[in-house]
Structures are given as structure tokens and as C-alpha cells.
Amino acid sequence: MIEFRSVTKRFPDGTSAVSNLDLVIPAHQTTVLVGSSGCGKTTILRMINRMVDATSGTIEIDGDDVATLEPVRLRRRIGYVMQNTGLLPHRRVLENIVTVPRLNGMPKAEATELGLRLMDTVGLDRGLARRYPSQLSGGQQQRVGVARGLAVDPNILLMDEPFGAVDPIVRAELQTELMRLQVTLGKTVVFVTHDIDEAFLLGDQVVILQQHAVVAQRGTPGEILAHPASGFVSDFIGAERGKRALRIVETNGSRVVVDADGRPAGVLVDGKNGS
């Protein structure tokens, strides 16, 4: 469990990125932080692994105040996947994946074995092991990023818009893959996005943030959709428009669900299967 207590971050230039944040991120679940650009999502994420130090307040991981932990040690036990992958361009795929285990002194043969297994885990062909990042597609690079994040088998996985730079089809593929992985791995995932659909798809818990990382609402996707806490939230999730504002129309005895523009979105069937 990760707990933020009255956390504030002001950057040296005076920018107030996070103001007085209280937030609990439960273990073994996916928590998605969602909000518009500049609202402080990345800052929250980077305070967990001390890439950014809080100005005031405390952040605890399983009861340990991160401020008391040594940054390098802390970072080595937290997986971090970022939007632009940040892969080392001069190292091969396999070397990139096992960078941290190697830093921790894992013998080369063992690391190779681990790296290949991780490639299987994230759905990368083993044949790509000896390529350089520049020789991979964007989607493949993201998979390498995820594999690298998992390499030390961390309890916590921080993901900062990891699928932001790939096309919608690959993005959907990667999302599905992540959900599949999470079912078996059960990591404490903190996932940042500004795409509300992605948030609802992946999040067990979704945290909607306003400027300065003020929590507008926190809950399961169902709770948020059913009971938006404020006008800001319903605007943000688009509850009154687009594909979320669905109506039922009767045509020739069958009931069709249509969106705000009257375009059919599906048919209504009986039964209670699905959630």
C-alpha cells in the first residue's frame, strides 16, 4: 500500500504542482491517475520513487516513509515505465530488460535466461533479443519498457502514459496484454493517463485529478460513472455526451441503444451475464 499524507510539491521556480494531497493506493490493484495535462500526475508518480522529493507531507510504502529510504535502493525495487520508453539506445533489447538485475549483480547467464522469459511474458518474440531499440516498432519498444519494469519482480509498478505514443490498435493490444499480466502478477500498479477510457478500462480504482493534483473523485469506474461527484467530473468523463450518454430506442419490437447523436451503439439483450 502506498499512502500520501498532506503531500505538497512546489518546484524551485514557484510552480505549485501538488497541493495537500491525501491519497491511498491499495496493494495488488491497479490505480489509475487521470486528469488533464499539467495537473500533477507525473509529479505524484515520481514522488513515489523519489525522482522528485515532496516539499512537505509524507509518502509511505507499506508504512515506510520514502524520505528515509536511500533513493537508489528504493528505485531498484520499483518498476518504472515511461511514455517515451527511455530505453538505452546503445544497449540491445535483452540488455535493456535486465539492466537492473545486472546492476544488482545477477550473473550474465542467469540474467539472459530471465530476460528471455520476460520477453515471453510481455509477448515479445525472442528473436528480437539482440536488436537495438531503434530497430523496433513503437509498440515493441513499449513492451520492452514493460519487461524492463518487471525485471526485478517489483511489488510496485509505476507507469506514466506508457501507451501514449502508439496508434490506437497497438494501444488496445497493449492494454489487453497489461490486464492479462495483472491478473497473474497482481502488482501494485500506479498508472497515469489523460485518456478517461483507458482509465476506466484498466483501473480497479480511478482517481480523477484537477489542477494542483486536487482529487476531484476517487472510486471504481462504476461508482464514478454512476455518481459523478461534481460537474467537473461529469464533464471530464463526458457523462452527458458522446458514447457515454446512451439512450434506448424501440425499433420494430427490438430495443436498440443509441448515442447522443442517435447513432446505434448496440442492442439490449436480456440476462445478467457480464458486469
Partner 1 sequence: MTLFAEAIAWIFSPERLLGGNPVSQRIGEHLRYTLIALAVSALIAVPVGYLIGHSGKGREVAVSLAGAARALPSLGLLTILTLVFGIGQAPVAATVVFVVLGVPSVLAGAYAGIEAVDRNVVDAARAMGMTEWQILVRVEAPLGLPLLIGGLRSAALQILATAVLAAYVGLGGLGIYIQRGIALRTYDEMLGGAILIVALALVVDAVFALLERLAVPAGVSGRTKRPSPFRRRALTPATAIEGAG
Ligand X SMILES: Nc1ncnc2c1ncn2[C@@H]1O[C@H](COP(=O)(O)OP(=O)(O)OP(=O)(O)O)[C@@H](O)[C@H]1O
Kindly list the residues in this chain that would bind partner 1 in the complex (CB under 8 A): 46, 49, 51, 72-76, 80, 82, 84-92, 99-100, 103, 132-135, 148
Q: How far is CA 275 from CA 33, 191, 198, in A?
A: 23, 23, 17
Q: Is 53 in the site for ligand X (CB under 6 A)?
A: no
Q: Tell me the C-alpha distance between 63 and 59, whole Å.
A: 9
- In the list 26, 28, 38, 267, the residue contacting ligand X (rule: CB under 6 A) is 38
Q: Is 194 in the site for ligand X (CB under 6 A)?
A: yes
**Which of the listed partners (partner 1, Mg ion, ligand X, none) does 80 bind, with a CB threshold of 5 to 8 Å by partner kind?**
partner 1
Whose Cβ is closer to partner 1: residue 85's or residue 217's? 85
For 8, the grid coordinates are: 505538497
Min separation Cβ 27 and ligand X, Å: 23
Read off φ and ψ for residue 47, nearest 5 degrees. -80, -25
Whose Cβ is closer to ligand X: residue 14's or residue 63's? 14
Min separation Cβ 188 and ligand X, Å: 20
Min separation Cβ 42 and ligand X, Å: 3
String of contacts with ligand X for each residue 10-29, x by CB under 6 A: -x-x-x-x------------
List the one residue out of 79, 72, 71, 77 whose CA is nearest residue 118.
Answer: 79
Min separation Cβ 99 and partner 1, Å: 6
Contacts 24+ apart (CB under 8 A), 237-242: 237/196, 237/200, 237/208, 238/196
Min separation Cβ 131 and Mg ion, Å: 28
Residue whose grid cell is 476506466: 200
Q: Tell me the C-alpha distance between 86 and 148, whole Å.
A: 11
Q: How far is CA 186 from CA 18, 26, 72, 150, 198, in A?
A: 28, 11, 24, 12, 19
Q: In the complex, which residues of this chain contact ligand X (CB under 6 A)?
A: 11, 13, 15, 17, 35, 37-43, 194
Q: In the complex, which residues of this chain contact Mg ion (CB under 5 A)?
A: 42
